[in-house]
A = this chain, B = another copy of it.
């Protein structure tokens, strides 16, 4: 059904060449030490073309994120009966982290992003871009108005949790503690 014409195929291929070239070069020599010119050269396209496919240098590394948003919303909507929203989100993030563990490149990639401020920032904005969608899904689920503050807050906190979790050595435990905090609150085991 999704028969792509030759034109579309070539376009995607060009895009892929660029993304591949970027990934290789950045992994090998670091984000800041490789210019866009060099990426374009290696992909055998002009700089102008490169920027027709990607809106910025950072974007070269973060392809395809519309799937992420739907997966995020689905994690809330289609969670098993009786499971709370925070727990569903925790499971979603931990599952994603496990999936990444398969890909050997992913560790190196994560380290690159971690160590480059510009990339960290960009990745964050990519994620928070989904904040509104997530907030709306949560609000709908609990029957609150679409701009409810607590739903917006939970959405924001959950996405931030992801960021915090990925910076920790023991992600599973970190996820448990953070989402536990969101679910039961600071007061729950802090009677001091």
Contacts and interface: CB of A to CB of B under 8 A. Distances in A.
Interface of A: 84-86, 121, 125, 142-143, 149-150, 152-154, 156-157, 160-161, 164, 168, 173-174, 177-178, 181-188, 190, 192
Contacts of A157: 157, 160, 181
Contacts of A173: 149
- Secondary structure type dominating chain A contacts: helix
B178 A149 contact: yes
Given A142-B190, A186-B85, A186-B86, A152 B181 contact: no
B177 A181 contact: no
B142 A192 contact: yes
B183 A187 contact: yes
A153 B164 contact: yes
